[in-house]
């Protein structure tokens, strides 16, 4: 087993009166792609945010691969890159400027961009196919183009751990595949990727699957394991069935009329 990248210890999160996460303890292996799946309201985004250290929690989150004993905000910023859902704003910034924001953990809040920053941004933009229109402004982009620009921003951080919430939203199939390629390459470089995907078939391509419901972990295991598939089907009220088609695990709808 690889060293752990993230370790949560009995974390709970309350939003108002609602218990969004209850006593969640999980381990995320480094250099692996882990996916979190579950129905709406299961607490997936909250878990991801908790792992990113962005919300107040009860319990603890550890980052064994970050050298510092108790990492500062800056340490975390350099080692963890977070891409959230439904990101509005930054309409007046160009794609290049948005991507360059990803270098803030390394550049600091003042000072000009160095060679390292520029090359990081350039490779992030090229890998997301956004280099050619890097001078266009975010408000002029389509949903998919915008998502790719934001992804470039997350990649520019060159963090060891990437946490991405619904990274495929607005992306058409070719660009979804591009994203898969990016993740594969990141894992190959020894980076850790944790994503929340509601596209089950995409999620089943990862190394590990975390199945959630009602703020709790129902199952964590390999995407090939039948127990994992059963856990997924159960959590979706058995309205899906996971089958092997063309050497891939695919999630198909299971309708009452099919039985």
Q: Which of 38, 43, 71, 102 binds another protein (CB under 8 A)?
A: 102
Query: Using alpha carbons only, how large is the chain's radius of gyration in Å?
Result: 19
Query: Tokens 């809040």 sit at which residue?
Result: 109
Give the residue among 159, 248, 146, 193 at the shortest CA–CA distance from 2: 193
Q: Which of 44, 49, 148, 229 binds another protein (CB under 8 A)?
A: 49
Task: Indicate the Cα dihedral angle 72, 30, 204, 245, nearest 10°.
Answer: 160
Q: What are the tokens at 30?
A: 């480094």
Q: Which of 7, 12, 27, 97 binds another protein (CB under 8 A)?
A: 97
Sole window of 22-30, 101-109, 168-176, 204-212 interacting with another protein (rule: CB under 8 A): 101-109
State yes or no: residue 92 binds another protein (CB under 8 A): yes
Q: Which of 33, 82, 236, 249 binds another protein (CB under 8 A)?
A: 82
| Phi/psi of residue 206, nearest 5 degrees | -80, 180
Sole window of 26-34, 86-94, 193-201, 207-215 interacting with another protein (rule: CB under 8 A): 86-94
State yes or no: residue 70 binds another protein (CB under 8 A): no
Sole window of 31-39, 84-92, 189-197, 226-234 interacting with another protein (rule: CB under 8 A): 84-92
State yes or no: residue 16 binds another protein (CB under 8 A): no
**Helix (H), strand (E) at residue 182:** helix 173-188
State yes or no: residue 1 binds another protein (CB under 8 A): no
Question: Which residues on neighbouring strands pair with residue 217, listed in sequence order?
Answer: 212
């Amino acid at each position: 087993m690889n060293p752990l990248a993230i370790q949560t210890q009995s974390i709970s999160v309350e939003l108002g009166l609602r218990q969004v996460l209850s006593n969640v303890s999980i381990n995320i292996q480094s250099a692996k792609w882990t996916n979190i799946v579950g129905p709406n309201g299961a607490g997936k985004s909250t878990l991801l945010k908790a792992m990113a250290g962005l919300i107040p929690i009860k319990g603890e989150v550890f980052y064994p691969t970050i050298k510092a004993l108790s990492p500062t905000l800056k340490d975390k910023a350099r080692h963890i890159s977070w891409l959230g859902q439904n990101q509005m704003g930054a309409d007046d910034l160009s794609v290049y400027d948005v991507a360059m924001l990803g270098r803030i953990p390394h550049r600091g809040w003042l000072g000009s961009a160095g060679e390292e920053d520029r090359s990081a941004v350039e490779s992030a933009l090229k890998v997301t196919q956004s280099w050619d229109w890097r001078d266009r402004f975010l408000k002029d982009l389509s949903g998919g183009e915008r998502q790719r620009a934001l992804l470039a921003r997350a990649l520019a951080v060159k963090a060891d751990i990437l946490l991405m919430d619904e990274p495929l939203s607005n992306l058409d199939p070719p660009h979804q595949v591009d994203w898969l390629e990016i993740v594969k390459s990141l894992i190959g470089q020894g980076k850790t990727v944790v994503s929340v995907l509601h596209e089950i078939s995409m999620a089943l391509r990862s190394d590990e699957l975390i199945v959630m419901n009602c703020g709790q972990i129902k199952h964590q295991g390999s995407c090939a394991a039948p127990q994992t598939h059963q856990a997924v089907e159960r959590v979706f009220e058995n309205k899906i069935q996971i089958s092997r088609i063309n050497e891939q695990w695919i999630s198909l709808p299971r309708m009452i009329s099919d039985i």
